[in-house]
Amino acid sequence: MTHAVPTSFVVFGVTGDLAHRKLIPALFDAVADTNDHDVRLIGVSSQPVGAAGVQEIVRKSLADRGNRGSTVARFVERSTHALVSRDSDTLDDLGRQLREIEGPGPNNRVFYLAIPPGPAASISTMIGKARLLDAGGWGRIVLEKPFGRDLASATALNELLHEYFSETQIYRMDHYLGKEAVQNLLTFRFANPLFESTWNRDRIESVDIRVAEDIGVGERAGYYEKSGAVRDMIQNHLTQLTTLVGMEAPSSFTAEAIRDSKVRVLESVRTVATRDVVYGQYASASINGELVPGYLDEPDVDPGSKTPTFVHIRLAIDNWRWQGVPFYLTTGKRLHERSSAIVVTYRPAPVCIFHGREDDCPIGRNTVTLRIQPHEGFDVGFSVKDPDPEMQVVSKPLSFDYSDAFKDIPDAYRTLVTDILEGDQTLFVRGDEVEASWRVYEDVLEPAAAPLPYPAGSSGPKLS
Ligand code: BG6
């Protein structure tokens, strides 16, 4: 089926890293694989790069799609440029350029703001004032995270967007929601009564949500210095994982029902207190014989900066399902590995029959480890008798790996861009949801004192 109305996919920040690495390849794959959308990429910038400049950017970012020569060539050829002036406070001229590119007849339009959070608010307003979403077809606007920098600014940004757009036109990105293993959390929980029937305070002792990165802040200090690990990772990615692990079953598999359930669990999360947070910051250390800089030595970082690059938070969820079960959220940069996983630890067996003494019980805890990346899959950790004649109980995993069962795992951006084109908001954060998640961290966005230093390449500061 070909969509009768063509779509302009208008990208602000087309010359930036996000567009080059993620967005353009994702858009190409979404369009090329389905043949379902007549989409033209229109790159917007204040540099007069022209159509040729945008086509060069697109060609470069699709360099590894060489085996799809003619499809790439067509996509590149149709990509074009629109120029905006840095000083202008309207986007009326952009409207004129879009109409010229699109020609007569109705068009769908997506405005994707692949730009830092600062200018995103003023550009959204200008798009709204110039009524650019209205070109005779549907219109959608996409904003990257972080959405605001605290509860007040996120609320203000929501109010501003709602002056011009309906909630069904607003797509708030959190790319973790597009990751296959994250989407699978709903299937894992709600298609497998085996697990779901034990998924509560009666059986579960704790939930650990960990996102470890081995990279440092690199060239992004301009953004990161104002953000830090709570705003950059916890309020969005790790909180989204928390909602999917903690929510009640939605009444149906629809965007609104799923997002209603996510908001409900967030409303039960207690506002985090300072005593429940450990902040860290990586210090220079040698990794594989190479000395890597500490955070304070990175370019554009204030030498006295207190920006945390590591956070460990204890969340409490005050509802019937989770009362008393700690959710530990941990994330950090320059750690010893890149690995994201959710570990659900079950309570111990109520009685230990294997040894005489309670405190000497050899039975480990049952665990469910949901591996998000790399090596997507999950492990159920259980106890098994070692065949050794001496009675021994050991813990072993029962594992499932995506790579054994499925051919390809689509990239998160590819999934999300397809959903934007299809108008499916399930994997996008709703306005009330983003506000509910900022509320949880209101008091702990920044540390009061200097964060604990940890050596680059380690597992973070010591947690007592
Ligand atoms: C981004 C953060 O949202 O997610 C980055 O701004 C972080 O600081 C990145 O590195 C991690 O994403 P992924 O998909 O590599 O885990």
| Angle, in degrees to the nearest 10, between helices 431-441 and 151-164 | 170
Looking up residue 404, the CATH number of its domain turns out to be: 3.30.360.10
Its sign, for the CA torsion 249, 254, 257, 258, is positive
Using the predicted structure, report yes or no on whether residue 124 has a pLDDT greater than 90: yes
Q: Report CA(115)–ligand 1 centroid distance (Å).
A: 15
Q: Are both 220 and 137 inside the same structural domain?
A: no
Ligand 1 mutation pick, 173, 233, 238, max ligand atoms within 8 A of CB:
233
Q: Report CA(18)–ligand 1 centroid distance (Å).
A: 11
Give bridge partners of residue 43 from the DSSP assignment: 11, 81
Q: Distance between CA 437 and CA 408 in Å, rounded?
A: 32
Can you give the pLDDT at residue 1?
A: 47
Q: In total, how many domains does the chain have?
A: 2
Q: Distance between CA 457 and CA 214 in Å, rounded?
A: 7
Q: Are both 95 and 193 inside the same structural domain?
A: no
Name the DSSP letter for residue 335.
B
Can you give the pLDDT at residue 248?
A: 97
> What's the predicted TM-score (pTM) here?
0.95
Asked if residue 292 belongs to a domain, the reply is yes
Domain boundary among 124, 144, 164: 144
Q: Are both 68 and 205 inside the same structural domain?
A: no
Q: Is the CB of 213 under 6 A from ligand 1?
A: yes
Residues in the chain: 464
Using the predicted structure, report yes or no on whether residue 462 has a pLDDT greater than 60: yes
Contact residues for 247 (Cβ-Cβ < 8 A; gap 6+): 258, 261, 262, 264, 265
Domain boundary among 96, 121, 144: 144
Q: Rounded mean pLDDT of 101-109?
A: 95
Q: Distance between CA 262 and CA 300 in Å, rounded?
A: 37
Asked if residue 460 belongs to a domain, the reply is no
Q: Rounded mean pLDDT of 91-118?
A: 93
Asked if residue 167 belongs to a domain, the reply is no
Q: What atom of ligand 1 comes closest to residue 145's alpha carbon?
A: 3
Can you give the pLDDT at residue 182?
A: 95
Contact residues for 53 (Cβ-Cβ < 8 A; gap 6+): 47, 81
Looking up residue 17, the CATH number of its domain turns out to be: 3.40.50.720
CA distances to 53, 91, 260, 435 from 95, in Å:
20, 7, 36, 31
Ligand 1 mutation pick, 213, 238, 413, max ligand atoms within 8 A of CB:
213
More confident residue, 351 or 39: 39
Asked if residue 161 belongs to a domain, the reply is no
Domain range enclosing 76: 7-144
Are residues 10 and 101 in contact, defined by beta-carbon separation less than 8 angstroms? Answer: no
Q: What atom of ligand 1 comes closest to residue 174's alpha carbon?
A: 3
Q: What atom of ligand 1 comes closest to residue 232's alpha carbon?
A: 6
Q: Is the CB of 379 under 6 A from ligand 1?
A: no
Q: Are both 13 and 88 inside the same structural domain?
A: yes
Can you give the pLDDT at residue 357?
A: 55
Q: Are both 390 and 260 inside the same structural domain?
A: yes
Q: What atom of ligand 1 comes closest to residue 373's alpha carbon?
A: 16
Q: Are both 188 and 289 inside the same structural domain?
A: yes
Q: Report CA(233)–ligand 1 centroid distance (Å).
A: 7
Nearest CA to ligand 1 atom 2: 232
Q: Is the CB of 174 under 6 A from ligand 1?
A: no
The tokens for 110 are 């997506």
Q: Distance between CA 113 and CA 46 in Å, rounded?
A: 14
Q: Are both 61 and 140 inside the same structural domain?
A: yes
